[in-house]
């Protein structure tokens, strides 16, 4: 990784840290103030954090986190992740700033509020101008009145005034940025002798005691997963299609309704020449009008043949290009047409006419589509009947028999959906079937669960075989192989340490390598934080190079090999040669310093005003999630 990437990464972390702090101060919860009060979960001076405000802020954070993780986050997970305290802490921080602004008598003019609103991108039209109708529309979509939004903006500006006052003049000293740059960007080069684990071949046969001890010490490598015996009923619309009747009249009616969609649209083989500007495109168009071939013009202006788009429908092309291409006859070319990619001249090489579908061609497809649609409707009714049977005390088998449904039993199912043979069990319901199968108590039935494709399933756990260590006799070959690998690694490490000791006594690495038949490499210049295995050879190598003085030698461990390394060159970083990176780093440091000041100021405000939290009301909110 080069110096620039390292510095940019560092600055990104710093900026991200400040963003977190700014959200802790501002957040967006204030816009919900005034929507009703049911008791304060916290009080800061004269400021109250109402239950409803806290509930909405927590709900927004839960929704945001759920979207990022791709699954719903429940209240227990929010507690475990510290989200509950984080949201409340953010709201308290905002209240602290509000109270300080009130005590200082800070004011915000209508002009300041207007400027802030007019700068908001969400309220601008396509021309980049403030659009009041869009402003009203956005507020309506957010369920906000204009006054509520204006009050929130006013508080935001007041807080920003305080932040600017305490951190606006903060700047990082250049000497600090240069020192950090030198530390992060210094590079070192090593001469490395490689001792592969595979080079250790003189291993003895392991005795029984060694294998038993190894099997016991590394038992986690030989675990059999938890397995469950599961009985379930799966309801899928696909399974009902065959027995769902569809009349000929219904098929004909569907055909007449969807005739245009069922046919094959017109397709054209389009070629194009793309130009950077209109003037050049017009010049090329003029040459085409003179009779120069499309291929020749493309070659003259782009140095390449025309771009062949193949056979495309009108809908395959951007609207303007599609309109131009489908207005041409075979062999014709278009006027220059603009798109976000530039200026295009299009040429039609071939036209494949549209083809209308016949009823005979699509009858079976229509029959299946109609049957599937009807089966989906029937599925809900069947699911309700199944739920009623189970609620009345029927077992899965009894309910299935009464409703003419199939019951399936799987033995030895693991959490990955594999059977005892290690192969995936086919035909399992999708979505969270496995999760439910492994969270349902033995002997219990799950709830009837709907899947994302509109199906349903319900299951019962009939038995559980806990995860356990496979006996040595069952995994002997695996134990022997891992024991050999461990022995090779240990002996390669010992060999590297012994060779490093000889190198420290003055024996050249080249001589040691020749003696043992090992390879020697010179590393690329490495920083302290290099992680590219192609450069670093071992994750431990860069750090080791920065522990050594020039000429010193050390042994370094790796995964598939061990190393003897000698430091042969040090390349100090020169801040004067990288002004851009130093300036960026200085900006990032200043941002971090401002962040620290803001955090300290929040702590000071909390000592000044206190913050009384009503845990009972907080728990009342959490109980509603």
- Please write down the HEC assignment for all residues of 404-445: CCCCEEEEEECCCCECCCCCECCCCCCCCHHHHHCCCCCCCE
Query: Which residue would you say has higher pLDDT here, 240 or 121?
Result: 121
Q: Which residues pair with 458 in a beta bridge?
A: 233
Residue with tokens 């845990």: 615
pLDDT over 80 at 373, yes or no: no
Contact status, residue 491 vs residue 200, Cβ threshold 8 Å: yes
pLDDT value at position 477? 95
pLDDT value at position 5? 32
Q: How many CA atoms lie within 13 A of 11 on its CB side?
A: 18
Domain 3-170+595-622 has CATH 1.10.4030.10: yes
- CA angle 178/179/181 to nearest 5° reads 60
Strands 307-312 and 519-522 turn out to be: unpaired
pLDDT value at position 295? 94
pLDDT value at position 316? 86
Strands 342-352 and 408-413 turn out to be: unpaired
pLDDT over 80 at 30, yes or no: no
Tell me, yes or no, if the two domains 187-220+474-571 and 264-352 fold the same way.
yes
pLDDT digits 0-9 by tens, 268-318: 999 999 998 999 999 999 999 999 999 999 999 988 899 898 899 988 888
Contact status, residue 223 vs residue 467, Cβ threshold 8 Å: yes
pLDDT over 50 at 602, yes or no: yes
Secondary element (H or E) of residue 56? helix 51-69
Across the chain, mean pLDDT equals 86
Contact status, residue 301 vs residue 280, Cβ threshold 8 Å: yes
Domain 187-220+474-571 has CATH 3.10.50: yes
Is residue 249 exposed (0-12), middle (13-18) or buried (19+ Cβ within 10 Å)? exposed
Query: Which residue would you say has higher pLDDT here, 441 or 138?
Result: 441
Can you read off the two tokens belonging to residue 373?
Answer: 């649609």
**Around Cβ 63, how many Cβ atoms within 10 Å?**
12
Percentage of the chain exceeding pLDDT 70 = 92
pLDDT digits 0-9 by tens, 493-514: 999 999 999 999 999 999 999 9
Domain extents in the chain:
3-170+595-622, 187-220+474-571, 227-244+361-466, 264-352
**What band does 371 get if pLDDT is binned at 50, 70 and 90?**
confident
pLDDT digits 0-9 by tens, 200-257: 998 989 999 999 999 999 999 999 999 999 999 988 877 766 666 777 887 788 777 7
Is residue 237 exposed (0-12), middle (13-18) or buried (19+ Cβ within 10 Å)? buried
Averaged pLDDT, 90-96: 92
d(CA 556, CA 190): 12
Query: Which residue would you say has higher pLDDT here, 142 or 153?
Result: 153
CATH number of 264-352: 3.10.50.40
pLDDT digits 0-9 by tens, 418-437: 999 989 999 898 778 999 99
pLDDT digits 0-9 by tens, 568-589: 999 999 999 999 999 999 999 9
pLDDT over 60 at 376, yes or no: yes
Q: How far is CA 125 from the centre of its chain?
A: 31
pLDDT value at position 242? 66
Can you read off the two tokens belonging to residue 536?
Answer: 């670093």
């Amino acid at each position: 990784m080069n110096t620039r990437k390292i510095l940019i990464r560092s600055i990104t972390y710093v900026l991200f840290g400040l963003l977190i702090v700014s959200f802790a101060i501002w957040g967006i919860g204030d816009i919900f103030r005034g929507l009703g009060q049911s008791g304060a979960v916290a009080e800061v001076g004269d400021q109250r954090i109402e239950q409803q405000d806290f509930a909405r802020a927590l709900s927004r954070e839960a929704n945001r986190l759920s979207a990022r993780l791709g699954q719903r986050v429940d209240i227990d997970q929010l507690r475990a992740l510290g989200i509950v305290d984080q949201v409340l802490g953010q709201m308290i921080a905002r209240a602290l700033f509000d109270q300080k602004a009130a005590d200082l008598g800070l004011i915000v003019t209508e002009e300041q509020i207007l400027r802030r609103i007019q700068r908001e991108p969400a309220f601008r039209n396509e021309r980049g101008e403030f659009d009041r109708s869009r402003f009203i529309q956005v507020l309506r979509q957010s369920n906000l009145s204009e006054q509520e939004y204006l009050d929130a903006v006013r508080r935001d500006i007041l807080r920003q005034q305080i932040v600017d006052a305490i951190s606006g003049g903060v700047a990082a000293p250049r000497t600090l940025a240069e020192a950090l740059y030198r530390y992060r960007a210094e590079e070192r080069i090593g001469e490395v002798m490689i001792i592969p684990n595979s080079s250790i071949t003189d291993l003895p046969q392991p005795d029984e005691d060694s294998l038993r001890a190894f099997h016991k010490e590394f038992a986690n490598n030989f675990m059999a997963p938890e397995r469950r015996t599961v009985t379930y009923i799966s309801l899928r619309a696909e399974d009902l299609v065959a027995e769902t009747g569809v009349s000929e009249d219904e098929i004909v009616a569907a055909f007449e309704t969807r005739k245009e969609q069922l046919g094959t649209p017109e397709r054209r083989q389009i070629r194009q020449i793309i130009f950077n500007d209109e003037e050049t495109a017009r010049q090329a168009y003029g040459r085409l009008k003179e009779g120069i071939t499309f291929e020749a013009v493309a070659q003259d202006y782009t140095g390449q043949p025309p771009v062949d788009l193949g056979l495309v429908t009108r809908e395959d092309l951007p609207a303007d290009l599609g309109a131009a291409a489908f207005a041409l006859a075979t062999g014709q070319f278009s006027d220059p047409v603009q798109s976000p990619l530039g200026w295009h001249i299009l040429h039609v090489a071939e036209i494949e006419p549209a083809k209308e579908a016949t009823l005979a061609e699509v009858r079976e497809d229509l029959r299946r589509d109609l049957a599937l649609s009807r089966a989906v409707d029937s599925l809900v009714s069947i699911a309700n009947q199944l739920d009623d049977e189970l609620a009345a005390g029927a077992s899965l088998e009894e309910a299935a028999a009464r409703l003419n449904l199939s019951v399936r039993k799987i033995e030895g199912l693991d959490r990955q959906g594999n059977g005892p043979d290690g192969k995936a069990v086919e035909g399992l319901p999708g979505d969270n079937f496995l999760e439910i199968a492994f969270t349902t108590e033995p002997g219990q039935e799950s709830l009837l669960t709907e899947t994302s494709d509109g199906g349903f399933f319900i299951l019962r756990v009939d038995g559980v075989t806990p995860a356990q260590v496979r006996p040595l006799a069952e995994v002997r070959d695996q134990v022997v192989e891992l024991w050999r690998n461990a022995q090779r690694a240990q002996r390669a490490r010992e060999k590297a340490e012994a060779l490093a000791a000889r190198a420290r006594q003055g024996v050249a690495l080249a001589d040691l390598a020749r003696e043992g038949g090992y390879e020697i490499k010179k590393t690329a210049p490495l920083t302290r934080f290099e992680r590219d295995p192609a450069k670093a050879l071992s994750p431990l190598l860069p750090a080791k190079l920065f522990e050594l003085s020039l000429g010193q030698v050390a042994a370094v461990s790796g995964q598939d090999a061990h190393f003897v390394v000698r430091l042969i060159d040090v390349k100090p970083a020169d801040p004067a040669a990288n002004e851009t990176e130093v300036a960026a780093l200085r900006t990032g440091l200043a941002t971090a310093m401002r962040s620290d000041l803001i955090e300290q100021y929040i702590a000071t405000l909390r000592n000044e005003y206190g913050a009384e939290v009503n845990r009972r009301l907080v728990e009342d909110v959490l109980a509603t999630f």
